[in-house]
Amino acid sequence: MEKTKYAFYRKEIDIPQNWSGKEILLHFGAVDFEAIVFVNGKKVGGHCGGYDPFSFNITSYLKVGQKQEIIVKVFDPTDEAVYASGKQVDNPEGIFDTSVTGIWQTVWMEAVESAHISALHLLPDIDKHQVTIKAIGSESAASKK
């Protein structure tokens, strides 16, 4: 396969009827390296980092009763810039791996209530055999307090 620094992904989707009135989240498991996400021609946001997950609330970008267009633009300089590259290089030798560009982990959408848990922070204490769990609420959840 030919090496490229840019990749574009385009997908048309339908939003299920039973998702009406809910917040729609678009999740990416990982994209290598810099991703810019567009929904129906509008920029939703971007993310840099090839190994960590990220999400966007795309609710306000959706068109009621229509197909939704999602485009992801990816830029990956691999080992030609000051970004962390891990073991991926354009010309692998020894311990280095061939490079990967683009979406390389699962992408999915989900419908959630406007007030929802957006993250969990787990803090283990091995000596005490316990874990502290902190639930982080959505902005909607924080405003309903």
- Domain containing residue 119: 115-145
**Residue 72 CA from chain centroid, whole number:** 10
Q: What is the CATH number of the domain that holds 80?
A: 2.60.120.260
Strands 54-57 and 42-48: unpaired
Q: Assess whether 58 and 35 both reside in one domain.
A: yes
How much is the average pLDDT of 55-84? 86
Question: What is the reported pTM?
Answer: 0.79
Is a pLDDT exceeding 60 seen at residue 81?
Answer: no
Name the amino acid, one letter, at 12.
E
**Higher pLDDT among residues 122 and 94, named by residue:** 122
Number of neighbouring beta carbons within 10 Å of residue 79: 14
Identify whether 15 is part of a domain: yes
Phi, psi of 89 (to 5 degrees): -140, 160
Q: Assess whether 47 and 89 both reside in one domain.
A: yes
Contact 11, 68 (CB under 8 A): no
- The pLDDT confidence band at residue 78, using thresholds 50, 70 and 90, is low
Name the amino acid, one letter, at 54.
F
* Cα torsion angle, 137, 139, 144, 145, sign: positive
Q: Assess whether 96 and 85 both reside in one domain.
A: yes
pLDDT value of position 138: 84
pLDDT value of position 93: 56
